[in-house]
Amino acid sequence: MRIVYPIPHIKYVTWIDPETGELEKRNRSPFTGSWYEAFRPLYRIREHLGHPNLAVDLLLVDMEEYRIRDGWGNGGKRGSHRFDRIPSSIFDVMTLETPADYAALLPDDLPEIFTAKDLSNCVGIRRKSVSFSSVMNIMVLMQAAEMTGTGPHRARLYRKISAGSAPLEDPQ
């Protein structure tokens, strides 16, 4: 089975006046999508991710979005409704099947022992749309990283598992 999950990469937003149907000038959204945005929905199917017959294709898609200006505040933009999204091009594709595919999402410049916040800072994403604790839970599940303990403020500490290193044994 193959799951294809599109992620908005570069998005242009055009506002629609609800009374006249008139289109306003197109604006580029300030956000740029990343692979890590797929981990929140992937977390819901985490028990199936290691199955040998499952592959997940992540697509970074440039798109046009049309929104109806029917909200409140800021000229009707807050709480507005999406009318349509039209993909304009595929920027990049990544397939997640093996632990090595997941490990490729962990940057090389991470410290040997790191937290989810360190990962967030390293990739330069500080938005609530990406839950780096979910990212790390999936990385541990897929054996791309392992939890090594807890650090200051009860932050979980992780270590990237490379192809040549074995996971630490659980001391029991």
Q: What is the pLDDT along the chain (172 residues), one digit of tens a residue?
A: 999 999 999 999 999 998 898 999 899 999 888 999 999 899 999 999 989 999 999 999 999 999 998 888 878 888 889 999 999 999 999 999 998 999 999 999 999 999 888 898 888 887 676 788 889 999 999 999 999 999 888 889 999 987 545 554 544 4
Q: What does the pLDDT read at residue 151?
A: 87
Q: What does the pLDDT read at residue 138?
A: 93
* DSSP letter string, 13-71: EEEE-TTT--B---EE-S----GGGGHHHHHTTGGGTT-TT-EEEEEEEEEEEEEE--S
Answer for the pair 51, 59: CB distance below 8 angstroms, yes or no.
Answer: no
pTM value?
A: 0.79
Q: What does the pLDDT read at residue 164?
A: 47
Q: What does the pLDDT read at residue 77?
A: 86
In the chain the domains, ranked by start, together with CATH numbers, are 1-97 (no CATH), 98-172 (1.10.10.10)
> Which whole-number Å values give the CA distances from 87 to 35, 139, 155, 161, in the listed order?
17, 29, 39, 36
Q: Which residues pair with 85 in a beta bridge?
A: 65
> Which whole-number Å values give the CA distances from 169 to 47, 146, 148, 156, in the listed order?
22, 10, 10, 17
Q: What does the pLDDT read at residue 131?
A: 82
Q: What does the pLDDT read at residue 163?
A: 58
Q: Which residues pair with 92 in a beta bridge?
A: 60
Q: Which residues pair with 7 in a beta bridge?
A: 60
Q: What does the pLDDT read at residue 169?
A: 52
